[in-house]
Amino acid sequence: MNQKHSPQSCCCEKPSQELIGIQIAAEPPKIDDQQNEVCCGSPPGPESSRFEKPGYALLGFVEAFVQKPTGSVPRVKTALRWRDRVGTIRARLGIRRARYKIAPGLYCVGEPDAQAPVLVTANYKLTFDELRTNLKDISAWILVLDTRGINVWCAAGKDLFSTAELINRVERSKLKEVVSHKKLILPQLAATGVAAHVIKKELGFKVVYGPVRARDIPKFLANDLTTEPAMRKVTFSLLERMILIPVELAHLPKPSFWILLGAFVVSGIGTHFFSFSAAWLRGVMLAVAYGTGILAGAVITPMLLPWIPGRSFAVKGAIIGAISSAGIVLWFRNDLGILAALALMLCTTAVGSYLAMNFTGSTPFTSPSGVEKEMRKAMPLQASALLMALIVWVGAAFVG
């Protein structure tokens, strides 16, 4: 839904108290469904919402509009609908995740007045949904920044949840005319992107950093914007790590198609130049090694992350990859020579190391500079291991 709303639209002509209610005071004329069914073949569908505007789509999470001198402000629901849940599942699976965002601007929950708190968040819809669903029975303003559909923490690191964007959004929403206080509540994980002293100087607003998790916001507001130590602590539990696994796997189908196709082609090369039977038999083994590397790096390593030795994610993935590759060698031991077994072990270890290293971008364990440093060291070794695996695998076919 476009964030601009005409103040002349029908829903804004009524007093704000009427806008807040869901029920319509005057009952619409009743329609004879039976007669309509006889004439048209089916009963009529639901009537249009009185909050719809010609030319605009009313999004499911918008409940109504609150009229302010600065314009109409969408009031959002604090409960997820089935469309929201489907969207969440799709985003978790990496389907159109980069486009799962809402229009930036000013929103609200409940019946906020000039003294209501202002909560600032990103326009990634998963982030927005997490915030609004934790604001049940709370009246507040929600200022959504344009973070290009990226979550708070990543957007702060990419200079999208930034000082400049916050200043721009406060001015464009005319927030000074909506609230009488001078406080903006920002997520703690946005601190790396926002200079609080600049906001104070440019806007006159004081930045208050709230808790890490949205579920702690009600208690934070009830305690006069005071956090407890646990609210400042970033967690990365087993469940939180498992939630991220589908996103890591979502990037693999397309490159994996070409990788597996190449694996079957090189597996057919041998003393007879090319053998289709060898391409299938040896290709299956190489495909299993590749798939096991994916399992080791993108699934097992994230799950066992705290218990795997070493600080480097690439090393952690290599350890799990090497252990997993030993199982492959044992499984195919009757069909493998020493060289072929070495090739499979190198392949699984390298793939596991690379995918585990990619997981660093989803964790609170490393900084952006730390990730870059690790990648510069690990990627040449991973590429060398894969190249060696390819050479040894082809060479094994000639050795017999």
Hey, what are 146's tokens?
Answer: 């344009």
CA–CA gap between residue 312 and residue 301 (Å, rounded): 12
Specify the pLDDT at position 39.
54
Please state the pTM of the whole predicted model: 0.76
CA–CA gap between residue 167 and residue 152 (Å, rounded): 16
Residues whose CB is less than 8 angstroms from the CB of residue 324 and which lie 6 or more positions away in sequence, other chains included? 292, 293, 295, 296, 300, 348, 352
Hey, what are 156's tokens?
Answer: 């702060």
Specify the pLDDT at position 86.
93
CA–CA gap between residue 351 and residue 349 (Å, rounded): 6
Specify the pLDDT at position 69.
87
Indicate if the alpha-carbon torsion angle 11, 16, 19, 24 is positive or negative. Answer: negative
Residues whose CB is less than 8 angstroms from the CB of residue 121 and which lie 6 or more positions away in sequence, other chains included? 127, 128, 131, 142, 143, 144, 145, 152, 187
Provide the residue-wise pLDDT of the chain in tens; the chain has 400 residues: 444 443 333 333 333 333 333 333 344 445 554 555 555 566 777 787 777 778 877 888 999 899 888 888 999 999 999 999 999 898 888 888 888 999 999 999 999 999 999 999 999 999 999 999 999 999 999 999 999 999 998 899 889 999 999 999 999 999 999 999 999 999 999 998 999 999 999 999 999 999 999 999 999 999 999 988 888 888 888 988 898 898 888 889 999 999 999 999 999 998 888 889 889 999 999 999 999 999 999 999 999 999 999 888 999 999 999 999 999 999 998 888 999 999 999 999 999 999 999 888 667 666 667 778 889 999 999 999 999 999 999 999 888 6
Specify the pLDDT at position 4.
41
The phi and psi torsions of 73 (rounded to 5 degrees) equal: -115, 125
Indicate if the alpha-carbon torsion angle 28, 30, 35, 41 is positive or negative. Answer: positive
- CA-nearest of 305, 379, 386 to 349 is 386
Specify the pLDDT at position 10.
37
Q: Do the bridges between strand 206-209 and strand 183-186 make them parallel or antiparallel, or are there none, so unpaired?
A: parallel
User: Which H or E run includes 221?
Assistant: helix 217-222
Q: Do the bridges between strand 140-145 and strand 118-122 make them parallel or antiparallel, or are there none, so unpaired?
A: parallel
Specify the pLDDT at position 26.
40
